[in-house]
């Protein structure tokens, strides 16, 4: 945990230095007595708002999938300037899950305590960062060239896997401290559901030496593939082992397999953003059997990655690749899909996929009663969020690509896809309840 925040603090420090230099703001030391004041509900708390939001279905743990109920809680600390209490120098928002496990309160308590530690680390970090915000505010008073921008911080989460074996959560922290953009850092925490034990890479196997070798070889192979050519920066001189495997928090387990997170400035530049590598369970030799996923087939793939899989149940694997093609300056993105060497890009263009989600595409078995494995491609419209959706396709034995329709939103690992009574695809939460 400390190692993660040391990395994030170093990144934030470098960014702040660049921002302050570029804006030519005057640096002013803050004495202890001028430390920013937190908006408080009590002398010992710096929480402006603390709310609890039970999952929309309102079910008891016994009625939830695997007897696991998730309650979302939020906290919103706010810090004001000592010199002028009407000025907010830093505003933070945090959301985090609280777990209830039917018949296993001890494991739930251990998991919740670990998550509380992550939250406390974030809150303490922002309390210290408020001093930097106060300093920037005071400097702006002496400068006619720049106006102070309130610092903001966000701490959010996404549930990646939640079943009777594994609970895996990814937290993302975003800090804005003036300048052109904020800084984002994502990391994973994974637990053994039955015991509440926090798992590390070494915990996933009985013998870490061959498991580590398997991981490093797989990740290096992926990193060298054309799919990651425009993402990995040679200028950073980073290697997979130090950047990913030696970081205890840059991975998580989902239904697809073991995923590693590369944050900005780790393997790629800020412009490439956060990107991931996924190793499917079928390739994780040495993984303890109690951590494997036992549900319907699902495979997460980075755009540009090539995969072999039987898409139509004819006992013959197809070669599949979905990618996003751009001009030399990364403009005019277009979707491209090839199956067994045949180009189906025209079929995708007919759907007007203009806002392509670069995070992943999926293969998934929507209905175990039929022989098909479907292809899922997401379209993220940041200008008109209601138009964001995920499209689904089938590849038939006659070589035709069949469009099945779309569901609202971007599919993620905590969602399910089902057919309703009318035969239409719908997106559901982890308990099978329709979303939207």
Average pLDDT on 119-143 reads 94
Torsion angle, alpha carbons of 284, 288, 289, 290, to 10? -130
User: Same structural domain for residues 289 and 302?
Assistant: no
Last residue of a domain, one of 293, 317, 338: 293
Average pLDDT on 210-226 reads 95
Asked, for residue 433, whether it belongs to a domain, the answer is: no
Greater confidence (65 vs 144) lies with: 65
Its domain, for residue 326, covers: 296-428
User: Same structural domain for residues 217 and 279?
Assistant: yes
CA 215 to chain centre: 20
**pLDDT attached to residue 37:** 52
pLDDT digits (tens, 9 = 90+) for 356-402: 777 899 999 999 999 999 999 998 888 888 888 899 999 999 999 99
Q: What is the DSSP letter of 32?
A: G
User: How does strand 151-162 pair with strand 88-101?
Assistant: parallel
Confidence of residue 205 (pLDDT cuts 50, 70, 90): very high
Asked, for residue 272, whether it belongs to a domain, the answer is: yes
User: Same structural domain for residues 152 and 18?
Assistant: yes
**pLDDT attached to residue 127:** 96
User: Same structural domain for residues 156 and 190?
Assistant: yes
Confidence of residue 15 (pLDDT cuts 50, 70, 90): very low
Asked, for residue 435, whether it belongs to a domain, the answer is: no
User: Same structural domain for residues 105 and 142?
Assistant: yes
Residues 186/263, Cβ–Cβ less than 8 Å: yes
Asked, for residue 155, whether it belongs to a domain, the answer is: yes
Asked, for residue 286, whether it belongs to a domain, the answer is: yes
The whole-angstrom separation of Cα 117 and Cα 130 is 20
**pLDDT attached to residue 51:** 61
pLDDT digits (tens, 9 = 90+) for 166-201: 999 999 999 999 877 889 999 999 999 999 999 999
Last residue of a domain, one of 199, 224, 239: 199
User: Same structural domain for residues 118 and 67?
Assistant: yes
Mean pLDDT of the residues in the chain: 85
User: Same structural domain for residues 43 and 82?
Assistant: yes
User: Same structural domain for residues 80 and 95?
Assistant: yes
Asked if the model's pLDDT at residue 118 lies above 90, the reply is yes
| Lowest-confidence pick of 45-54, 116-125, 409-418 | 45-54
The whole-angstrom separation of Cα 314 and Cα 372 is 9
What pTM value is reported for the model? 0.84
| Tokens found for residue 271 | 């412009």
Residues in Cβ contact with 418 at an 8 Å cutoff, skipping those fewer than 6 apart: 366, 425, 426, 428, 432
The angle that helices 105-141 and 2-23 make with each other, rounded to 10 degrees, is 20
Confidence of residue 7 (pLDDT cuts 50, 70, 90): low
Residues in Cβ contact with 366 at an 8 Å cutoff, skipping those fewer than 6 apart: 296, 372, 374, 392, 417, 418, 419, 425
Last residue of a domain, one of 199, 223, 240: 199
Got the DSSP string for 207-257?
-HHHHHHHHHHHHHHHHTSGGGTTTS-GGG---HIIIIIT-TTSEEE-SSE
User: Same structural domain for residues 327 and 311?
Assistant: yes
User: Same structural domain for residues 65 and 87?
Assistant: yes
CB atoms within 10 A of CB 149: 17
pLDDT digits (tens, 9 = 90+) for 43-69: 233 445 656 555 544 555 556 889 999
User: Same structural domain for residues 49 and 131?
Assistant: yes
**Count of domains for the chain:** 3
pLDDT digits (tens, 9 = 90+) for 58-112: 555 556 889 999 999 999 999 999 999 999 999 999 999 999 999 999 999 999 9
pLDDT digits (tens, 9 = 90+) for 234-292: 876 678 888 899 888 999 999 999 999 999 999 988 888 899 999 999 999 999 999 99
User: Same structural domain for residues 109 and 243?
Assistant: no
| CA distances (Å), origin 28, targets 10, 21, 175, 239, 385 | 21, 14, 21, 39, 42
The whole-angstrom separation of Cα 119 and Cα 8 is 15
| Lowest-confidence pick of 302-316, 356-370, 397-411, 420-434 | 420-434
Asked, for residue 82, whether it belongs to a domain, the answer is: yes
């Amino acid at each position: 945990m400390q190692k993660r925040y040391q990395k994030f603090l170093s990144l934030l420090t470098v960014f702040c230095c660049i921002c302050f230099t570029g804006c030519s703001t005057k640096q002013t030391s803050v004495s202890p007595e001028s430390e920013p004041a937190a908006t408080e509900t009590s002398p010992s708390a710096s929480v402006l708002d603390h709310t609890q939001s039970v999952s929309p279905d309102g079910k008891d743990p016994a009625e939830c999938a695997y007897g696991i109920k998730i309650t979302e809680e939020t906290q919103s600390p706010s810090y004001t300037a000592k010199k002028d209490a009407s000025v907010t120098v830093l505003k933070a928002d945090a959301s985090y899950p609280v777990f209830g496990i039917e018949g296993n309160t001890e494991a739930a308590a251990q998991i919740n305590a670990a998550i509380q530690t992550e939250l406390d680390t974030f809150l303490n970090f922002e309390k210290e960062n408020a001093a930097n915000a106060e300093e920037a505010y005071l400097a702006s008073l002496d400068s006619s060239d720049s106006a102070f921008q309130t610092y903001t911080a966000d701490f959010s989460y996404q549930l990646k896997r939640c079943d009777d074996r594994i609970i895996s959560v990814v937290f993302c922290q975003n800090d804005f401290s003036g300048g052109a953009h904020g800084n984002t850092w994502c990391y994973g925490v994974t637990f053994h559901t039955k015991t509440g034990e926090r798992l590390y890479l070494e915990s996933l196997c009985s013998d870490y030496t061959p498991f580590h070798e398997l991981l490093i070889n797989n990740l290096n192979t992926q990193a060298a593939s054309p799919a990651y050519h425009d993402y990995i920066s040679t200028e950073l001189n980073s290697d997979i082992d130090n950047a990913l495997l030696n970081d205890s928090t840059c991975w998580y387990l989902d239904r697809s397999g073991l995923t590693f997170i590369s944050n900005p400035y780790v393997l790629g530049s800020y412009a490439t953003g956060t990107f991931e590598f996924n190793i499917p369970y079928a390739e994780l030799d040495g993984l303890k059997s109690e951590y494997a996923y036992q549900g319907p087939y699902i495979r997460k793939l980075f755009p540009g990655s090539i995969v072999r899989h039987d898409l139509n149940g004819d006992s013959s694997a197809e070669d599949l690749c979905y990618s996003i093609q751009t001009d030399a300056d990364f403009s005019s993105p277009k979707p491209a899909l090839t199956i067994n060497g045949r180009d189906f890009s025209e079929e995708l263009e007919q759907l007007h996929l203009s806002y392509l989600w670069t995070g992943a595409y999926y293969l998934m078995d929507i209905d175990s009663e039929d022989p098909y494995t479907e292809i899922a491609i997401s379209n993220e419209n940041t200008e008109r969020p209601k138009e964001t959706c995920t499209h689904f396709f089938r590849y038939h034995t006659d070589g035709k690509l069949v469009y099945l329709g779309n569901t609202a939103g971007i599919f993620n690992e905590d969602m399910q896809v089902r057919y309703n009574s009318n035969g239409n695809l719908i997106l559901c939460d982890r308990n099978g309840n329709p979303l939207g």
